[in-house]
Amino acid sequence: MSILVDAGTRVLVQGITGREGSFHTGEMLAYGTRVVAGVVPGRGGSITADGVPVYDTVRHAVDETAANASIVFVPGPFAADAILEAADAGLGLVVAITDGIPVHDMISILPVVRQSGTRVIGPNCPGVISPPHCKLGIMPGNVFTAGPVGVVSRSGTLTYEIVDELTRAGLGQSTCVGIGGDPIIGTSFLETLQLFEADPETRAVVLIGEIGGSDEETAAEYIPQMSKPVVSFIGGRSAPTGKRMGHAGAIVSGRVGTAAGKVAALTAAGSPVAETTHEVASLVAAALAGRSG
């Protein structure tokens, strides 16, 4: 079992004919993902080089193909409208890969989208993968392998690095979720941990956080209630106060969002916090051994 996506996920690509949409559609198809439709206004009736039919609207695509999830490669100024269109068509999951979506756009649409029952992952995220069944995103699929470890992360690059370490250590993954690095995102660490807690095939979770905001501290409050061990890593420990490091949400303001504060909260919650990415796999192995012993 997995969370969010599985072998039955039927994917619709918004912005499929653009450079990024076209390339990653090919990569998702090669991984085995069921990409059933694309949406580009004005391109309806065409077929991509990969053989995917293109529609003018999300609703038409859903009616014709029974798509149940969308991935958004629409440029930033128009991406919020694309997310709203997907929610209005009744899609249960929307993965917004796009970065540069105006913050006020996300603030205005997320309450509407959540009320519709649609879950948004992102924006500015690498997506979701449940190896080997479905890759709904831009991750390098070759580093992932099936197993019992769930991964939730704000950073795509750190995700790939840590997952590669897990895979090399024989610790496969149930689902990996990149929640995105923007200040306003659709799904939090807490919500993702709750999904992993309910998944019977996930036996341990890796939480990959970074400086900025308080999402990691909020998640830490929930960890003691979990029946599964959570191993953590916090990026950006050497970042100076007031400097934005990488993601738009990775900024320390005064005492809020510091690496030290996040590490302290997670440690107090009983989550081992790795000092380097290389340590994560051994901490996960020890946590799993401790639960089975």
Options 24, 104, 247, 278, the catalytic residue:
247
Query: What is the β-pairing status of strands 127-130 and 173-178?
Result: antiparallel
Residue among 59, 208, 221 at smallest CA distance from 125? 208
**What string of DSSP letters covers the chain?**
--SS--TT-EEEEETTTSHHHHHHHHHHHHHT-EEEEEE-TT-TT-B-TTS-BEESSHHHHHHHH---EEEE---HHHHHHHHHHHHHTT-SEEEE------HHHHHHHHHHHHHHT-EEE-SS--EEEETTTEEEES--GGG--EEEEEEEES-HHHHHHHHHHHHHTT--EEEEEE--SSSS-SS-HHHHHHHHHH-TT--EEEEEEESSSSHHHHHHHHGGG-SS-EEEEEE-TTPPTT-B-SSTT-B-BTTBT-HHHHHHHHHHTT--EESSGGGHHHHHHHHHHHHH-
Whether 278 is a known active-site residue: answer no
Q: How far does the chain reach from its first CA to its final CA, in angstroms?
A: 24
Catalytic positions: 247
